[in-house]
């Protein structure tokens, strides 16, 4: 859009940001970027960023129009990086490692450098070479995102992921921190189904090297002594702290419950960032390429640093750089600012703040918070990013007292941990009361997003210049920032590569992000790390095509049992979806309900692993109705009004409706299968499917493939025959809790989601059941409840 000024749309009122008292402004300024295009200037964002970064970043602000923001807009904060007592910290680390390694090994916790681990490597290789089919157990033993993973290895079939069981799905506690007993029980059931036994598990591999983590913890609490002694408090980091480390180190004890006859089951700790890197690379379309592939792992922190950078060729991975200073973490920066400004607990705040950024001023030249927050990071040679300790206080008090005075002057007082709430742990949806929204808050969100992108661009730019790579795999929790992922593809395009030394004609960056880049996938990573590092010459890894790996497919009897225990539910058994005709008939019925603005849940097959519902545990709705977003946010999911909805879409309509990036085209646009990339909508798309196009003109799409999810694909085709677009709103089957794993959790979601019309549940043998709440009006119930059921089964 060009020409004269156009006002930004008003912010949604009421359902916004907990913990603040600010009021939304009734009149908003008209903001224009320097090119004269109105906000948001989709299509020009990448060019603006590229040209801006090529100038001296701090000085470029002097040309920006001055906004009324007191004297702060002129203020420059002196950058302070590094530790106060680095030598003391190094000594504390070395002593802890020297004492801890041998002592903990006696209790069954080993590092890869120790004899027990080397013996397990020999056993693994020998059993593979004898033609045996063996198993590796990945374990996230404590701390947020506890999990258990089962991987099969054989010369015949290579490395095969069987299950990645996130404990939160079984307990219903988001980011579960306790020992993953339920996840392990499901792993052992899968092992039994395959006719295998615990003895066939060669090694148990931890998702962290907790010995190193303990030693680095000793370093952290002494580097800023005495102030940093407070880091030992659990409140300083509720989701991962010393208590979790000690419990993980004791995990050989509780593991014995699953290994008959054992008192203690030895565990091998694997380097956390390597786990992220090995799995993400092995699952990517780039695995095995003789061209260099760069890998970034950027998260809150690992056992020995906050970022690790790699290059891979021909299946082998080389570690290039590590930032060993945990409190220089870009991930921690985003987490702390988003939670202390948004009022949500960490790990629930980041995605919500990213969604809010679309409502703010996305220009580096006019966003009045950007220049101030940009001082939070210091960009150094070789892609290093440091945090400014004169503004941030996390190196002394972590999440408990995260701001220093300079940052308080910019953002105000941080919301205290005690005043935050978790939107993923809601007992009664009626109690949810989102506070109001203001322009300042969304502008802060946009500024933080741009600062994070600056740091990410700096890292990737260095890696490209160092290696000449055109392929990138992102991992670590920050890789869930789907907006930044899209910006990477815009930034490192053909024009960028033409400016590099040498001949790079026609080259651009190609990107892939796994569906589980965060710690939900790091138990898998531990198994992949061990297998490919030490037997990569014997094993091939299967590339990811879908994400259906959490638990087992529910049986029809399990579904019936849950329904018999739910007197408030009505249900009709509608036959079997085993044939294409039957599946398409069901899809037509579902599309009839949705096209009439009904909202239907889908519960089928093995659940998705990772934070996104991708068709097996989903709530589907009409993308063509502009009120769908409001209805879903207010009456089904009880979410903040600023949060967008995402679409599932067929391959052909993805290309017809969206500007698919050539940088995501590998393996027929596999990168768009998992809702980890946003994409710009083509002109006219928002008018056709307004419910799934966010305020900045983007959507976080999922391309559905018929070979992996035939029911969802049939629903898309049926929807296309009714609306002209093969698109459905796809949001996760949950309300204020983790994604539903079992039938009972799915029915509880239906109860809590007052605006849902019903639920389609499919058992392991293909038997399909339509379910709705007794006594509540339901379009699904009306369509299937009045006629005779196909199978004669009615509840």
Question: Residue 230: pLDDT band by 50, 70, 90 thresholds?
Answer: confident
57-91: buried (b, 16+ CB within 10 Å) or exposed (e) per residue?
A: eeebbeebeeeeeeeeeeeebeeebebbeeeebee
Mark out the alpha helices in 55-166 (DSSP H runs): 57-60, 86-106, 115-129
pLDDT of residue 470: 98
Are the beta carbons of 201 and 258 closer than 8 angstroms?
no
Question: Residue 11: pLDDT band by 50, 70, 90 thresholds?
Answer: very low
Question: Residue 616: pLDDT band by 50, 70, 90 thresholds?
Answer: very high
Distance in angstroms (rounded) separating the CA atoms of residues 795 and 614: 29
Locate 784 and state its tokens. 């299937």
Given a cut of 70, whether residue 424 has pLDDT beyond it is no
Locate 57 and state its tokens. 């970043």
Distance in angstroms (rounded) separating the CA atoms of residues 523 and 609: 12
pLDDT of residue 242: 78
- Distances from the Cα of 172 to the Cαs of 154, 255, 739, in angstroms? 35, 22, 8
Give me the sign of the Cα torsion angle 407, 410, 411, 413.
Answer: positive
Least reliable range by pLDDT among 59-68, 376-385, 535-544: 59-68
Helices 522-535 and 115-129: crossing angle in degrees, nearest 10, is: 70
Per-residue pLDDT tens over the stretch 65-122: 333 333 333 456 666 767 788 899 899 999 999 999 999 999 999 999 999 999 999 9
The domain made up of 45-63+326-512 has a fold known as Nucleotidyltransferase; domain 5 (3.30.420)
**CA 539 to chain CA centroid, nearest Å:** 28
Nearest C-alpha neighbor of 308 from the set 321, 317, 299, 325: 321
Given a cut of 50, whether residue 532 has pLDDT beyond it is yes
Given a cut of 70, whether residue 42 has pLDDT beyond it is no
Distance in angstroms (rounded) separating the CA atoms of residues 273 and 580: 44
Given a cut of 70, whether residue 426 has pLDDT beyond it is no
Element (H, E) at 111: strand 109-111
Are the beta carbons of 15 and 634 closer than 8 angstroms?
yes
- CA-angle at 675, arms to 740 and 644, nearest 5°: 80
Least reliable range by pLDDT among 3-17, 205-219, 626-640: 3-17
Per-residue pLDDT tens over the stretch 378-407: 999 999 999 999 998 887 777 788 899 999
Least reliable range by pLDDT among 102-111, 176-185, 272-281, 347-356: 347-356
pLDDT of residue 437: 66
* Over residues 428-433, mean pLDDT: 58
Element (H, E) at 718: helix 710-723
pLDDT of residue 401: 84
- Distances from the Cα of 125 to the Cαs of 121, 317, 486, 529, in angstroms? 6, 19, 40, 14
Given a cut of 90, whether residue 199 has pLDDT beyond it is yes
Given a cut of 70, whether residue 343 has pLDDT beyond it is yes
Given a cut of 60, whether residue 531 has pLDDT beyond it is yes
pLDDT of residue 427: 55
3-state secondary structure of 194: coil
Locate 156 and state its tokens. 């015949």
Locate 339 and state its tokens. 């939670």
Neighbours of 4 (CB within 10 A): 8
Given a cut of 50, whether residue 667 has pLDDT beyond it is yes
Question: Residue 3: pLDDT band by 50, 70, 90 thresholds?
Answer: very low
Least reliable range by pLDDT among 207-216, 482-491, 519-528, 595-604: 207-216
Locate 700 and state its tokens. 């976080």
Distance in angstroms (rounded) separating the CA atoms of residues 34 and 181: 57
Number of alpha carbons in the 13 Å side-chain half-sphere of residue 90: 6
* Over residues 127-145, mean pLDDT: 95
pLDDT of residue 16: 31
| Residue 471, beta-bridge partner list | 293, 510
Same fold? 45-63+326-512, 86-284+519-544: yes
Are the beta carbons of 268 and 112 closer than 8 angstroms?
yes
3-state secondary structure of 479: helix
Distance in angstroms (rounded) separating the CA atoms of residues 319 and 486: 25
Least reliable range by pLDDT among 75-89, 245-259, 454-468: 75-89
- Torsion angles phi and psi, residue 293, rounded to 5: -125, 125
Provide the residue ranges of all domains of the chain, joining segments of one domain with +.
45-63+326-512, 86-284+519-544, 556-785
Give me the sign of the Cα torsion angle 252, 258, 262, 265.
Answer: negative
Distance in angstroms (rounded) separating the CA atoms of residues 335 and 345: 9
From the options 1.10.238.10, 3.40.50.300, 1.20.1530.20, 3.90.870.20, give the CATH code of 556-785: 3.90.870.20
3-state secondary structure of 780: helix
Are the beta carbons of 97 and 104 closer than 8 angstroms?
no
Domain 86-284+519-544 has CATH 3.20.20.70: no
Q: What percent of the chain has pLDDT over 70?
A: 86
Written in H, E and C, the secondary structure of 396-426 is HHCCCCCECHHHHHHHCCCCCHHHCECCCCC
Mean pLDDT of the chain: 87
DSSP secondary structure string, 551-594? S-PPPHHHHHHHHHT-TTEEEEEEEE--SHHHHHHHHHHHHHHH
pLDDT of residue 658: 99
- CA-angle at 380, arms to 377 and 382, nearest 5°: 130
Nearest C-alpha neighbor of 551 from the set 712, 703, 734, 764: 764
Per-residue pLDDT tens over the stretch 308-341: 999 999 999 999 999 998 889 999 999 999 999 9
340-376: buried (b, 16+ CB within 10 Å) or exposed (e) per residue?
A: bbbbbbbbbbbbbbbbbbbbbbbbbbbbbbbbbbbbb
Helices 556-564 and 743-752: crossing angle in degrees, nearest 10, is: 50
pLDDT of residue 235: 73
3-state secondary structure of 34: coil
pLDDT of residue 153: 98
Nearest C-alpha neighbor of 237 from the set 345, 83, 147: 345
Written in H, E and C, the secondary structure of 252-296 is HHHHHHHCCCCCCCCEEECCHHHHHHHHHHHHCCCCCCCCCEEEE
Locate 681 and state its tokens. 């909508």
Locate 504 and state its tokens. 């790079």
Least reliable range by pLDDT among 140-144, 383-387, 646-650: 140-144
* Over residues 4-30, mean pLDDT: 34
What region does 480 belong to: left with phi over 0, alpha with psi -120 to 50, or beta? alpha
Given a cut of 70, whether residue 227 has pLDDT beyond it is yes
Given a cut of 90, whether residue 746 has pLDDT beyond it is yes
pLDDT of residue 76: 60
Given a cut of 50, whether residue 172 has pLDDT beyond it is yes
Distance in angstroms (rounded) separating the CA atoms of residues 189 and 183: 10
User: 3-state DSSP: the chain helix, strand, coil percent, rounded to 5?
Assistant: 40, 15, 40
Q: Say what the pTM is.
A: 0.88
Distance in angstroms (rounded) separating the CA atoms of residues 25 and 437: 9
pLDDT of residue 237: 74
Distance in angstroms (rounded) separating the CA atoms of residues 44 and 36: 11
Distance in angstroms (rounded) separating the CA atoms of residues 265 and 253: 7
Are the beta carbons of 216 and 304 closer than 8 angstroms?
yes
Locate 117 and state its tokens. 């681990």
Please compute Rg for the chain using Cα positions. 26
| Residue 541, beta-bridge partner list | 159
Per-residue pLDDT tens over the stretch 678-714: 999 999 999 999 999 999 999 999 999 999 999 999 9
3-state secondary structure of 308: strand
- Torsion angles phi and psi, residue 304, rounded to 5: -140, 20
| Residue 134, beta-bridge partner list | 153
pLDDT of residue 294: 99
């Amino acid at each position: 859009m060009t020409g004269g000024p156009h006002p930004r749309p008003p912010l949604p009122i009421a359902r916004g940001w907990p913990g603040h008292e600010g009021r939304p402004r009734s009149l908003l300024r008209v903001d224009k970027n320097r090119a004269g295009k109105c906000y948001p200037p989709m299509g020009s964002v990448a060019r603006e960023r590229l040209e801006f970064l090529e100038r001296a970043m701090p000085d470029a602000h002097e040309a920006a129009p001055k906004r009324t923001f007191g004297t702060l807009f002129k203020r420059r904060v002196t950058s302070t990086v590094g530790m106060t007592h680095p030598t003391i910290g190094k000594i504390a680390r070395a002593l802890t490692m020297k004492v801890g390694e041998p002592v903990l090994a006696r209790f069954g916790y080993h590092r890869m450098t120790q004899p027990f681990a080397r013996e397990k490597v020999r056993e693994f290789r020998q059993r593979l070479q004898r033609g045996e089919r063996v198993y590796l157990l990945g374990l996230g033993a404590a701390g947020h995102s506890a999990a258990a993973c089962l991987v099969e290895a054989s010369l015949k079939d290579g490395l095969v992921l069987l299950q990645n069981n996130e404990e939160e799905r079984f307990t219903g506690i988001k980011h579960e921190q306790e020992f993953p007993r339920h996840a392990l029980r499901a792993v052992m059931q899968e092992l039994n189904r395959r006719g295998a036994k615990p003895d066939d598990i060669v090694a148990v591999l931890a998702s962290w090297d907790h010995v190193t983590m303990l030693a680095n913890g000793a370093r952290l609490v002494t580097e800023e002594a005495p102030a940093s002694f407070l880091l030992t408090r659990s409140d300083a980091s509720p989701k991962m702290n010393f208590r979790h480390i000690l419990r993980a180190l004791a995990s050989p004890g509780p593991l014995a419950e699953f290994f008959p006859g054992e008192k203690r089951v030895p565990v091998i700790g694997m380097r956390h960032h390597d786990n992220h890197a090995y799995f993400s690379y092995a699952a990517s379309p780039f695995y095995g390429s003789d061209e260099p592939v760069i890998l970034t792992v950027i998260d809150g922190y690992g056992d020995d640093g906050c970022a690790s950078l790699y290059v891979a060729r021909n299946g082998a991975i080389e570690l290039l750089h590590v930032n060993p200073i945990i409190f220089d973490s870009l991930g921690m920066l985003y987490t702390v600012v988003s939670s202390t400004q948004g009022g949500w607990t960490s790990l629930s705040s980041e995605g919500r703040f990213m969604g809010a950024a679309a409502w703010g001023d996305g220009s580096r030249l006019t966003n009045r918070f950007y220049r101030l927050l940009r001082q939070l990071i210091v960009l150094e040679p070789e892609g290093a990013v440091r945090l400014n300790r004169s503004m941030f206080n996390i190196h002394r008090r972590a999440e408990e007292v995260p701001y220093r005075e300079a940052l308080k002057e910019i953002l105000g007082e941080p919301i205290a941990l005690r005043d935050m709430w978790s939107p993923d742990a809601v007992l009664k949806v009626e109690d949810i009361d989102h506070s109001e929204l203001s322009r300042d808050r969304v502008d802060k969100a946009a500024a933080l997003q741009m600062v994070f992108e600056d740091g990410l661009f700096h890292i990737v730019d260095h890696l490209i210049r160092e290696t000449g790579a055109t392929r990138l795999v992102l991992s670590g929790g920050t890789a869930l920032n789907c907006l930044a992922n899209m910006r990477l593809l815009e930034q490192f395009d053909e024009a960028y590569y033409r400016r590099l030394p040498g001949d790079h004609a026609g080259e651009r960056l190609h990107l892939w992000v796994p569906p589980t880049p965060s710690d939900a996938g790091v138990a898998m990573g531990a198994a992949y790390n061990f297998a490919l590092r030490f037997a990569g010459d014997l094993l091939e890894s299967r590339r990811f095509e879908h994400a259906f790996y959490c638990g087992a497919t529910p049986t029809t009897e399990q579904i019936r049992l849950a329904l018999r225990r739910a007197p408030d539910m009505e249900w009709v058994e509608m036959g079997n979806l085993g044939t294409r005709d039957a599946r398409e008939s069901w899809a037509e019925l579902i599309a009839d309900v949705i096209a009439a603005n009904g909202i239907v849940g889908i519960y089928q097959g093995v659940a998705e692993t990772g934070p996104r519902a991708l068709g097996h545990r989903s709530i589907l709705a009409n993308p063509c109705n502009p009120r769908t977003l409001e209805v879903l946010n207010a009456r089904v999911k009880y979410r903040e009004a600023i949060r967008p909805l995402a679409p599932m879409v067929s391959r052909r309509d993805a290309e017809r409706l969206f500007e698919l990036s050539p940088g995501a085209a590998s393996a027929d646009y596999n990168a768009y299968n998992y809702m980890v990339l946003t994409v710009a909508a083509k002109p006219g798309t928002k008018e056709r499917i307004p419910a799934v196009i966010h305020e900045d003109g983007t959507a976080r799409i999922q391309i559905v493939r018929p070979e992996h999810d035939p029911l969802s694909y049939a629903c898309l085709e049926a929807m296309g025959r009714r609306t002209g677009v093969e698109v459905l709103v796809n949001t996760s089957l949950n309300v204020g809790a983790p994604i539903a794993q079992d039938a009972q959790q799915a029915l509880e979601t239906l109860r809590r989601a007052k605006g849902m019309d019903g639920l389609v549940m499919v058992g392991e043998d293909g038997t399909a059941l339509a379910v709705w709440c007794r006594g509540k009006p339901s379009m699904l119930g009306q369509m299937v409840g009045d006629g005779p059921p196909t199978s004669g089964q009615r509840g």
